């Protein structure tokens, strides 16, 4: 567990489905607190059209602000197309995240493209960014099931992963966009990838739609997954899936791992503070547990 890295996506995935727009100055305050928590990677926003996702309208400004700060974790951003790539390059993104949905229905709702078209486009963008010397992560969204189509072929997911690897991209995430994943499936799918491509760097991203997010994380840990995309307070949900549910909560996962003193470099108190501020801002109880129950100190 000492190799685990936390990629907090609360400022992007956590906020994108919230109707109440968070002011830029509030986002800056929350991001500063996340930086102080010693998180490994923070996803600040996504380069999408503001009319589609109004919460992300200030993404460029946030990156320009934080790119000037020294001694910070890696700052990542999500992009969908070539225009997003240009914006991301111009405002100081350090890690470029992009992906394709294994569900044609979800892909069309999210990007306006079917899976095959989106896959070719994303691979070309990723290769261009790698050629320019940038850090890139590609994902398979709806990898464990789709709210619209239901079961997704595991072989289809593996073929998308194979296409990434054969294109020279080995930093790969499986994203449970609809929250359908279950532990045995997680074990099976990540084991197959790791056995076929032992040099791949694997990330998981689980939503808690059916309450299995934490269990799925532990299954991923056991299969050598290194990077975990989570969100403070358990915020989150894709606006383009059928049932939008929160992510695995960052502080909940860290607190759980720390029960065995494996993962103490992250300041969980700062994460709890951000979650409490988010609860006050949105005027609702969030899906995380530790920020409400308090952490155990034994």
Q: How many CB atoms lie within 10 A of CB 108?
A: 17
Q: How many CB atoms lie within 10 A of CB 183?
A: 16
pLDDT tens for each residue of 53-79? 999 999 999 999 999 998 899 999 999
Q: How far are the Cα atoms of 59, 61, 66, 219 from residue 93, in angstroms, in the given order?
A: 10, 11, 10, 31
Domain extents in the chain = 5-293
Per annotation, catalytic residue among 91, 146, 217, 238: 238
pLDDT tens for each residue of 17-32? 899 999 999 999 999 9
pLDDT of 79: 94
pLDDT of 112: 73
Q: Give the pTM.
A: 0.94
Closest CA to 8 of 178, 265, 227, 285: 227
The region, left, alpha or beta by phi > 0 then psi within -120 to 50, assigned to residue 187 is: alpha
Closest CA to 175 of 202, 142, 147: 142
pLDDT tens for each residue of 160-169? 999 999 999 9
Q: Please state, in angstroms and rounded to a whole number, the distance separating the CA atoms of residues 1 and 236.
A: 25
Based on the residue annotation, tell me whether 204 is a catalytic residue of this protein: no
pLDDT of 204: 98
pLDDT of 243: 60
Q: Please state, in angstroms and rounded to a whole number, the distance separating the CA atoms of residues 259 and 38.
A: 18
HSE, CB side, 13 Å, CA atoms: give it for residue 174.
32
pLDDT tens for each residue of 233-266? 999 866 555 565 789 999 999 999 998 877 778 9
**% the chain with pLDDT above 70:** 96
Fold of domain 5-293: TIM Barrel (3.20.20)
Q: Does 140 score more than 90 pLDDT?
A: yes
pLDDT tens for each residue of 168-211? 999 999 999 999 999 999 999 999 999 999 999 999 999 999 99
Q: Does 285 score more than 90 pLDDT?
A: yes
């Amino acid at each position: 567990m000492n190799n685990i890295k936390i990629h907090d996506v609360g400022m992007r995935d956590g906020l994108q489905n919230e109707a109440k727009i968070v002011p830029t100055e509030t986002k800056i305050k929350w991001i500063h607190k996340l930086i102080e928590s010693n998180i490994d990677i923070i996803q600040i926003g996504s380069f999408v059209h503001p009319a589609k996702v109004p919460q992300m309208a200030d993404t460029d400004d946030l990156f320009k602000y934080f790119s000037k700060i020294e001694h910070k974790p890696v700052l990542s951003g999500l992009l969908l197309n070539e225009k997003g790539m240009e914006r991301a390059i111009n405002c100081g993104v350090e890690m470029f995240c992009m992906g394709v949905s294994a569900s044609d229905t979800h892909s069309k709702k999210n990007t306006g493209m079917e899976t095959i078209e989106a896959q070719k486009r994303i691979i070309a963008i990723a290769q261009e960014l790698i050629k320019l010397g940038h850090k890139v992560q590609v994902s398979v969204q709806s990898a464990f099931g789709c709210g619209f189509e239901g079961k997704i072929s595991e072989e289809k997911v593996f073929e998308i992963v194979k296409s990434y690897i054969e294109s020279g991209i080995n930093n790969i995430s499986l994203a449970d966009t609809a929250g359908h994943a279950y532990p045995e499936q997680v074990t099976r799918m990540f084991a197959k990838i790791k056995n076929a491509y032992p040099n791949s760097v694997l990330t998981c991203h689980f939503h808690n739609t059916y309450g299995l997010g934490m269990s799925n994380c532990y299954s991923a840990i056991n299969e050598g997954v290194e990077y975990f995309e989570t969100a403070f307070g358990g915020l989150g949900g894709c606006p383009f899936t059928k049932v939008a549910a929160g992510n695995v909560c960052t502080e909940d996962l860290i607190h759980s791992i720390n029960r065995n003193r494996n993962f103490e470099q992250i300041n969980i108190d700062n994460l709890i503070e951000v979650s409490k501020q988010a609860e006050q801002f949105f005027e609702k109880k969030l899906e995380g547990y530790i920020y409400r129950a308090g952490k155990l100190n034994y």
